[in-house]
Structure formats: structure tokens, C-alpha cells
Structure 1
């Protein structure tokens, strides 16, 4: 597995300290983030999932612990919108430049408004997808927020 992805190259270019970690990706897992956490022996609160959504029809990126579910009402509010919904898979892959299961908030084809679930900032470190299935980037939550210029909000249902 290559550890040089658009995501890791972007992190390096930004001067963000991170470590990569690989795990055996299970394409048949119903909840990819939870499978990643289990495979790495990490609590799900530290293994974050990256989701692509639409707020008032505009693409956004949302990051939250892998064991939690989004409140679309809270997602809309975090971006100052009226309504939110999940982006169709084909659109998420086209806009992000990554395959679902390997979507990273780093190094996407274009910079999107991003929100991070506020509870993730309380962790000593977090894992975020490194740009391909089975690759995670470990970093400090404050660096994650700063690198993405992300807002923090209560996003959990």
C-alpha cells in the first residue's frame, strides 16, 4: 500500500505533523469507520469518519467520530444553512477525488467548507482517512481543525 496519497502529500506540504497507519480494510463492513477502529485497536471516538454532504445544495465536508451519526439539522446550522443531506456516492467521489471508504478531508480536488464534531477536539490524538482504503493519518485534533480551517460544532444526532 502506498502511503503517498494526495492527502498525505497535502499534509506534508502544509507542514502538519502526522503519522500513517494501515489496517486491513473490509469492503463488506456495514460501518467502515467502526471496522477501522476495531482493526487498529483504537476507540471509535478517536477514529473519525469523513462524510460528504450538501447544505442548501452546496457541497461540504463533515468529520465526526466513527461511532456517531449526524444530525442533518445540526449540519445545516453549522454551515448557516436551512437544509442538509448526504451527498450521493458518485458525487462525493467526483468532488473529493477519493473512493468512498477512502475519503479524506485533506487534498481534496477543491477546498470545501468543513465542520468537525466538537467532541473530537477533546481527544489526545485522532485518526482521519489518509486518502485510500486501509490508510489512516494520526494527528492532533487542533492541527486537524487548523489545517482545514474547519468550524467545530455539535453535529451528532
Structure 2
């Protein structure tokens, strides 16, 4: 389904976000469409985890709200994370294949590489490079692997040079 499109999703509509990793569904959760220009889809959803997920540099927990940005032509997704009071925690970025929309499902394929940028921009961390190396994608699909590395590099440049602001405008 990735790359498929059925046109722009109407703001306010409900959608299911489906994250696939190595051909297995990793997570599925409901979200509300904030905007969709036919390429850039923005949804909002509460933290979908069963409990607290403590990464050491950030905790995702009940009450957190994610405003998630997906593109049908980019190899990443950017998730703005706010706590229950609305305070910005930062941005969690996933390197993915371009998003696909089929009916009321937005599907993305996670390619293991991630980036974290704290709310103040002082902490920018490249994550899971070891998982990516072990995934076998470099051997299986060298072009996709090159796209994934380029996406991670682009995200890091944006994070270190003023942030994601213009890219995330709805």
C-alpha cells in the first residue's frame, strides 16, 4: 500500500495509522486528520503505547499528544511530541518509505533509523543505526538503503540548523 493515494483526506476525519516494520505490523492506532494537501498528511493522536516508554532522553507516557507529519514523497515522518499540559518535549523522527493512504488507513514502513530533537534544539540524537545495519536492507535494496541514509542526514541537518518549522506548516 505504501505510495498509494486516494486523494487528500478531509480535516477532522478519523484515520488509522499503521506502522509496518520488516513486513510485520508494529503498531496500529486511531488518529484525527489535521490537514492533507495531497502530499503532506498531518494527524494528531494520543500516545499509543500501553505504558510509559523511557528512552533515557525522553519519556513517552499517557497524556502525551503526537502531531505527526507524513509525506507521500519523502522518506521520513516527523512527530511533534507534547505532554498532557501542552508543553513541547521535542520531535521524534522516523525514517520510513513514503507514506501511503488507502481509504481510512495511513500506512508507513519503518526503516529502523530514527532521530530525536529536544524542544530546545540542544539535543539531536541519531538512533538505531545498529538496527538498520542488522536489518539487511543495504544488501536487499541498496537504493532504499541510500534513500534512508539520505533522509536521516537531511533530518539531522534540519534539526541542527533551525529546526523543522517551515517543513511542518499545514
Q: Common fold, TM-score beyond 0.5?
A: no
Which is higher, the Rg of structure 1 or of structure 2? 2
Structure number with the higher strand fraction is 2
Q: What TM-score, normalized by structure 1, do the two folds share?
A: 0.23
| TM-score of the superposed pair, with normalisation by structure 2 | 0.22
Structure number with the bigger relative contact order (C-alpha 8 A, sep ≥ 6) is 1
